[in-house]
Chains A and B, each alone.
Chain A
């Protein structure tokens, strides 16, 4: 097992290195931050001084090597706009985004799996057909539009829930979180639902497909032939088998939840990383964009690793292969 993890970590280092080149080159092509950062009435000398101080006069490969050298020491650069370390800036916003993403994931699991199982067990019932039709809507409606619509309905017309912001936060292990206060929880509901909608639909479809496949397996029939209660068959024999693909996919989708939160955070004025990155892109705040992308890459790698480890917990057949590998 530990050999497996070490090998995975080595792979991860390679991926990060490759991504850093791509990200740096990509951001370099977006545009020259000097045009936006430096006011028009600055004279040529002032301009030159600033460009030199930001290191923008160097050729791109030198800039990259400088970035790399600093990055290895944990310094992903300083924001041009805020004049603060980019890493701190992002880490400061990260809890809000993670809270939103985890809430959405929780909703996807809590609603998606039971609804999907129902649709898989009783495929011909009206409820199942409604669930499946609903999941198509969840898939196809754009997140920003749904966000605006639910703000219209629940915040503006009905006035039940707040339309934006995090509300009152409380500190938990030194991090501000919303879900511990009633006000914060109310602020969390709409953005979390908005972000979760796509993932709920995905979980429904995955679970339904898995259920349809598993209930026709011999071992389910054998479980029935043993005289087991139908509830136990569904909750143990069927559920444990379909959880394997569902957990894998939802785990991998967690990364895209963080990525998609850019849209939701913008719509709901949720002060997370997504909003920061949009602002930074608009202002060509290159270090922040690079740092954000690098952090996202690392998060994806960690998520993948966790999913693989979870997978081996769920599927005993995988454990054996690890030992051999």
Chain B
């Protein structure tokens, strides 16, 4: 594999849900790439399609959803139309996923060791003892004390933070090339959130793993990611290096998101917010999906804007009226 091949290259991905009420275009033409060892933040509101993007990559979109178009290249291999067996071999071993709610991720009636050993044995032909030892070491690495005893426990005997650590340990078992973390800290306490963030970042750095961190929390991404994609209504509206996007957002939506983060400088004033709410996927506004909420919208916005790079070549935006100057 050539060293310049990105770990993941997503081109014009379209994932549609064919419901009785119509076709919901949850992901509609998303393109991005993740280099080896890179951390990409995928940011957006609920329903913007960020989670579906994650599930599309790992091939776990539930019916009536379907990848309707585009390509996903993983280490240069097109996995868009890959067989279920090929995807099964990639899942858990080369591409791992961490879910949002640790309370629901582990099977309540199976012991932790069962759930970890089966994950080892799904991809490596090793005996139970070796699999057990690997599970134990993996639990130790994510900071679970006395892992040997904890392996004998059931999920309900763990706290939420500990369960998420177990899920992370499972994701790390096969040292995957890519981890997709779908809001893994949203359901946790702020203190635990910090710990988990730190652990994941450290483990990814140590092993040169690529990471896609899906979140709605800009503050989390700002401290963690190298690059960022901002999604709105199934499309990426802005993408670039973390510093570019956070410090000098181009898209009015990103601008609004950053403006609505509480800050010490504006103490006592009401929190800035983006007016309106995210559109229903079944009833998308014509043209740029953000224009009904956008302060800069005009008649031009009734068409879908193309991708432009008004400031720097790797800082792309989909908007007719991007913010030109520094962040206001």
Contact = CB atoms under 8 A, between A and B. Distances in A.
Given A222-B167, A228-B118, A317 B154 contact: yes
Interface residues of A, number: 26
A109 B117 CA distance: 29
B60 A221 contact: yes
B88 interface: yes
Given A221-B99, A228-B92, A237 B107 contact: yes
Contacts of A225: 58, 60, 91-92, 96-97, 99
A316 B109 contact: yes
Contacts of A216: 62
B241 interface: no
B110 A236 contact: yes
B63 to A, nearest CB: 9
Q: Which of A218, A222, A229, A241 has the most CB of B within 10 A?
A: A222
Interface string A129-151: 00000000000000000000000
A292 B118 CA distance: 50
B110 A240 contact: yes
Interface of A: 216-230, 232, 236-237, 240-241, 244, 314-317, 320
6 contacts: A218-B99, A222-B167, A225-B91, A226-B118, A227-B89, A320-B156
B119 A226 contact: yes
B88 A227 contact: yes
Contacts of B107: 219-220, 223, 237, 240-241
B104 to A, nearest CB: 4
Interface string B78-121: 00000000001111110011010100111111110001001100
Q: Which of A217, A227, A241, A244 has the most CB of B within 10 A?
A: A227
B24 interface: no
Contacts of B115: 223
A225 B173 CA distance: 13
A315 to B, nearest CB: 6
Contacts of A226: 91-92, 118-119, 122, 170
Contacts of B91: 224-227
A230 B96 CA distance: 17
Interface in B151-179: 154, 156-157, 167, 170
Contact of A316 (B58, B93, B156): B156
Interface in B119-145: 119, 122-123
Contact of A224 (B60, B123, B167, B170): B60
